[in-house]
Amino acid sequence: MTVEVPLWTPSAERIAAAPLTAFAAEAGKRAGREFSRYAALHAWSVDDRDAFWDLVWDFCGVIGEKGGRVLADGDRMPGAKFFPDARLNFAQNLLRGTGHGEAIVFRGEDKIERRLSWDELSALVSRLQQLFVSLGIKKGDRIAAMMPNMPETVAAMLATASIGAVWSSCSPDFGEQGVLDRFGQIEPKVFIAPDGYWYAGKHIEVGAKIAAVAEKLASATKVLVVDYLGTAEDVASGIAKAEALEDALAPFSAKAVTFEPLPFDHPLYILFSSGTTGIPKCIVHSAGGTLLQHLKELRLHAGLVPGDRFFYFTTCGWMMWNWLVSGLAAEATLLLYDGSPFHPNGNVLFDFAGAEKMTYFGTSAKFIDSVRKAGLRPIDSHDLSTVRTLSSTGSPLSPEDFQFVYDSIKKDVHLASISGGTDIVSCFVLGVPTEPVWIGEIQGAGLGMAVDVWDDQGKPVRQEKGELVCTRAFTAMPIGFWNDANGAKYHAAYFDRFDNVWCHGDFAEWTGHGGLIIHGRSDATLNPGGVRIGTAEIYNQVEQLPEILEALCIGQDWDGDVRVVLFVRLAAGLSLDEDLEKRIRTKIRTGASPRHVPAKIVVVTDIPRTKSGKITELAVRDIVHGRPVKNKEALANPEALDLYRDIEQLRN
């Protein structure tokens, strides 16, 4: 009989040093009881939300006036109001560091490196703030940026928040229509863009795209072009309303940044849904809700302490950028990287980690899987002694990749698989640094998050697949959607399925250890013979085969039922012969179940992805069924969809 053991267990020293341990001790004092295990602390955090969020405010040192009330109308979702009497400024809470210590270290793929101290960051924010005020920007106005992940982007966001304006961003690889589909809805007064960017060893100019967007973005009275390739002045000179950022900043000298005190629920960010099923939804997030949720996650779950070196591989079009930037509120140094994570090879991020003594290494499940399939072993080639936590998100991390992290990246590391979304600009489930890591499992629900798994009848289920829900209001719920005056779209997105309960759209399962497994998006769930199957369950099996680089799975309507269709991208030089097809089916049958075995296996040369790198099963499903894909601009490689149109194998 085999004894089940965790992949990793935190040492007594780690547990003692974790901010979560100190928080649990303080919670115990306030509650009059001891919280020796995370499960008990979590139960208290959702049972007594007033006391919990009040402690988060105090423990994390929020700068602002708390006010007398913590939660009003707490039983309403939507409708609950956290800290309704509070006044604070998001940027002030992030710019709390001072002096010559590093606030930001930036590395561009073209080997550009820049370092900004806390004082230098504040100086840049001050000059940007003065510029925005001179342009007439006021509370509630929008500033939109199509930018690389570079220091100017962070500073511009902070300047925007400091005066109570609303920030929205995307990455510069978006097409013209993709940018307009997003920013056109929110009507920004200022549009910020780079002269270009670097990716996979190429410098990519975007001047023509900026000009096209600026012409159609009538609300924008000013276009600011940020220098990255060295051509900002030339780009700006050819565009009406445009000016190079350095020229626009020239009249302003740095002084103390001023911070507008604002209500807790004042709008801070507008983020966008992926848009693969229509025009992207504009999701509005509050300053106070985002700040408190991020402080809780970064200080308690990520374990950040002042001086940590905090990295997440992300673009400015993914919510992980917003999460990363909040690391400043923990007085951590932000490590920013912009470019391809595989140029010139798969070692570039590990090189960055070693050189900068990274303490928190955040990336995607896809990146970890790609490192494994490339045969790399950073444990042998890199000094990762400072890396305390390795975090994965974007899609479910397979059990094999859990094992790979400990075998081939680092043995003594907290592997934190996390999951949430743009919808809440944060996490529902994530790492717990004081608890063991079990293979294939996310460690637990976030503090203050009443997460559960329900069946179709709205009944909780254990060790059985169902819908991921949150049954009580939480701080990071959106204010609403932009241009949704009566809240109908917002309600339909999350609350139509179960009354007064947030239904997230993930297919999930509690484990026997109290952890969770995410089986993929429930709207992409397969349903052959009426049995619900998560696509991640199939990927976890088939992508273990060295011949399979990656896979995508859909349900095809067929003969009054649904049949499972598996698309595979093969390693170079291989073909899908009878032997490989048999091994794929056997692997899925034995590793998952006979229900998971695809009716059809089809070879493709590319798999369509969103800009944030997530495979898009729904768009492929629409193409296979002859339906239009409503917003191809949301895809990084929309041309890949043509590979799935009119496939002979799927006609019989």
pLDDT digits 0-9 by tens, 240-254: 999 999 999 999 999
pLDDT confidence tier of residue 596, bands split at 50, 70 and 90: confident
Cα 23 from Cα 309, distance rounded (Å) = 22
At residue 436, the 3 state secondary structure works out as: coil
113-117, 378-382, 591-595: range with lowest mean pLDDT? 591-595
Taking only the tens place, the pLDDT of each residue in 598-620 is: 999 999 999 999 887 888 998 99
Residues of the chain within CATH 3.40.50.980 domain(s) are 116-263
Predicted TM-score (pTM) of the model is 0.89
* pLDDT for the residue numbered 277: 56
Residue 217 in this model has a pLDDT that exceeds 60: yes
Region of poorest pLDDT, from 179-193, 320-334, 381-395, 578-592 = 578-592
Q: Which ranges in the chain are annotated with CATH 3.30.300.30?
A: 525-651
Distance, in Å, from the CA atom of 293 to the CA atom of 420, rounded to the nearest integer, reads 12
Q: How confident is the model at residue 519 (pLDDT cuts 50, 70, 90)?
A: confident
**Taking residues 496-522, what's their average pLDDT?**
92
Q: CA 425, CA 365: separation in Å to the nearest integer?
A: 18
Residue 41 CA to residue 280 CA, distance in Å, equals 37
Q: CA 251, CA 634: separation in Å to the nearest integer? A: 38
Residues of CATH 3.40.50.12780 domain(s) within the chain? 49-95+287-519
pLDDT one-digit tens code per residue, 445-489: 999 999 999 998 999 999 998 999 999 999 999 999 999 989 999
Domain 116-263 belongs in CATH node 3.20.20.450 = no
pLDDT at residue 329, as a whole number = 98
Q: What is the dihedral of CA 530, 535, 540, 543, to 10 degrees?
A: 120
Residue reference for tokens 């001891």: 34
236, pLDDT greater than 70: yes
What would the mean pLDDT of 177-191 be, rounded to a whole number?
94
pLDDT at 210 over 90: yes
Rounded mean pLDDT, 134-148: 98
556-574 burial: b if 16+ Cβ within 10 Å, else e: beeeeebbbbbbbebeeee
CATH number given to 49-95+287-519: 3.40.50.12780
Of 260 and 536, more confident: 260
Give the CATH superfamily of 525-651.
ANL, C-terminal domain (3.30.300.30)
> How confident is the prediction for the chain on average, in pLDDT?
94
Burial class (CB in 10 A: 0-12, 13-18, 19+), 200: exposed
Instruction: Residue count of the chain, please give it.
Output: 652
Alpha carbon distance 401, 439 (integer Å): 9
Q: How much is the pLDDT for 565?
A: 96
| Integer CA distances (angstroms), 230 to 105, 205, 234, 300, in order | 20, 11, 9, 41
Instruction: Say what the pLDDT of residue 1 is.
Output: 40
Question: What is residue 531's predicted lDDT score, i.e. its pLDDT?
Answer: 66
Question: How many whole angstroms separate alpha carbon 193 and alpha carbon 215?
Answer: 14
Structure-derived torsion over alpha carbons of residues 524, 530, 531, 534, reported in degrees to the nearest 10:
0
